[in-house]
Structure 1
Amino acid sequence: MADIHIVQEHSLTPGKAREAAQQVADKMAEEYDLACTWEGDVLHFERSGVEGSLTLALKQAQMHLKLGFLFSAFSSKIEHKVAENMQKVFGGAA
C-alpha cells in the first residue's frame, strides 16, 4: 500500500477551481479508469486498487490517493503525473 498526498496552491475562484478539479478528475478517469463523484467541495474517486479524494479550499487543492498493492509499484510515476497535471490546471493562475 502507498499513500500519495499532493497540495497545489491556486488563486482561482471557487467555480474555476471546481472546473480545474474536474479536468484533473477527467484525466485520471481516462488514464486509470476511475469512477468520480462530487460531495460538496470534495471529489471522490475509486476503482479496484485505488481510492482517493481531491479537496478544494479557498487557495489550494489537496489530493490524497491510497494505492493498493499492485498500483504501489507505480506510485512514484502516478504521483509525478498527477502532480504535473494539477500544476498545469491549478498552477497556471497561481
Structure 2
Amino acid sequence: MPSIDIRRPHRLSHAEAHALVDQVAARMRQKFDITSEWQNDTLAFERPGISGKIAVGSDEIHVSARLGMLLSPLKGMIEQEIRRKLDEHFA
C-alpha cells in the first residue's frame, strides 16, 4: 500500500497548532466522511481507502497516511493537497 509521509515545521504555540489541526479535521469529517479521534497529541483518522495520523509537535506537524488500492493512483494529487493545506495553515 502506498504511503504518504510529510513533515512541516511551525512556529505556533502547541495549543494553536492543536486547534488548527482540529479545525482541519472537522472539515475533513464533513467533506470526506472521515472518522477521527485524538490520542494524546496525535489525531488518528480513517475512512475506506485511507488511514493515517496527524501528530502535533512543539515545532512540527507530521502527517502520515496509508492509501488503499483504489486511492493509490491518486497519491500524487492527495499528497499535493495535504502540502497545500499545511502551507496554508502552518507556513
Give the structure-1-normalised TM-score: 0.89
Secondary structure of the equivalent of 2:70? helix
1:77 aligned partner, one-letter code: M
Gaps of 5+ in 2: none
User: Post-superposition, which runs of at least 4 consecutive aligned residues in structure 1 deviate over 3 A?
Assistant: none
Indicate the residue corresponding to 2:10 in structure 1.
10
Deviations 1:2-47 (A, max 9, x none): 1001111101111101011112222333332210110110000001
Secondary structure of the equivalent of 1:11? coil
Distance of aligned partners of 1:77 and 1:33 in 2 relative to their CA distance in 1, 3 Å threshold:
same
Gaps of 5+ in 1: none
Give the length in aligned residue pairs: 91
2:80 aligned partner, one-letter code: H
Percent of matched pairs sharing the same residue: 29
Contact 1:46–1:52 at 8 Å: present in 2 too?
yes
Give the structure-2-normalised TM-score: 0.92
RMSD: 1.1
Say which is worse superposed, 6-15 or 31-40, in terms of deviation: 31-40
